[in-house]
Structure 1
């Protein structure tokens, strides 16, 4: 039986957002208190001016269909190249690190490109930017399901084929081949090799071909 690590998403245990930028308030608590007192004193004879109606937020940028750097399709899947990959708030080292992934071959989805940086989405939906050198094209997928469930890796791409292994949610498998529009993918988990349904993993689209 192949079992997952403690964190299926591959993030460092206890990882939190880092404070990478100075405080933007620009004044101390004492100054704020003095300012509040002065404002209260002058408010007695003041006429309140109605606040303007805020302008509506602009709509989000549409999802591009191809990368601006590689011209490859977007979104597309890739995998983490090493056991330490920093997820940043923006495309550059000047942006703070939000997470550090510690799981090689964790599948991710590339959604944007900017120079040498790629915006990714992980299996839990968290998004951020990583350097393109931390990604690889070799494909993987992560087993989905309830915490106590198991997914069969079968000998043949058939629902009644005997299992060669039973995989717990969070196990990362290497995708060896997915035929176009087939419901099954040939996959490998450790020393076990067999077939798994696309619908039981995250890291491959419904009708994608993987060679």
Structure 2
């Protein structure tokens, strides 16, 4: 009975990974994704036999997908490093990382005159719920508000989505 349950769970996990891969195959590169796992290895080529270059230990880190090969994606990280990662370690959940500069104001509303709710330091990563080409609605843990889009790695300039 336990083996049957494990087999069904394994099949479901493989089907889920296949769905992620097929959904990502439909997108035109480049596009944005994020690391879905707490540990994700970047490799020098598209396969497990290629040597590891970096071990990422930051779930939700935004990455740019620049090339596809089978179930592997060539990614670019916020520092500009490129390498290959298994599609099973990536998700299409949109995230953003605060770039260099002064702390980024997280405001109550999209208006630049609205009250500042929080100030985000360089390197803070959060989930992006929407962007309008100027500002993005971002969630960092329980904190939520609007930030300048131009200060985020993980979203294109003038990009809009909900």
Give the alignment's TM-score, normalised by structure 1: 0.64
Of 100, 114, 122, 1:145 maps to 100
Q: For residue 92 of structure 1, what is the aligned residue in structure 2?
A: 47
CA shift at 1:78, angstroms?
0.3
Of 171, 175, 180, 2:124 maps to 171
> Aligned residue pairs: how many?
139
Q: Which has the higher strand share?
A: 2
CA shift at 1:192, angstroms?
1.1
Of 167, 185, 191, 2:136 maps to 185
CA distance in 1, matches of 2:29, 2:42: 19
Larger radius of gyration: 1
Answer yes or no: is 1:122 the counterpart of 2:77: yes
1:47-126 paired onto structure 2 within 5 Å: 70-126=25-81
Q: Secondary structure of 2:54's partner?
A: strand
Answer yes or no: is 1:207 the counterpart of 2:162: no
CA distance in 1, matches of 2:139, 2:118: 10
Answer yes or no: is 1:159 the counterpart of 2:103: no
Alignment RMSD: 1.2
CA shift at 1:95, angstroms?
0.4
* 1:167-199 alpha-carbon deviations (Å, 9 max, x no partner): 0000001101113xx301111112111101111
CA shift at 1:71, angstroms?
3.4
Could you list the runs of 5+ residues in structure 2 that have no partner in the other structure?
A: 1-23
Q: Secondary structure of 1:129's partner?
A: strand
* 1:20-64 alpha-carbon deviations (Å, 9 max, x no partner): xxxxxxxxxxxxxxxxxxxxxxxxxxxxxxxxxxxxxxxxxxxxx
CA distance in 2, matches of 1:173, 1:112: 24
Q: Which has the higher helix share?
A: 2
Give the alignment's TM-score, normalised by structure 2: 0.82
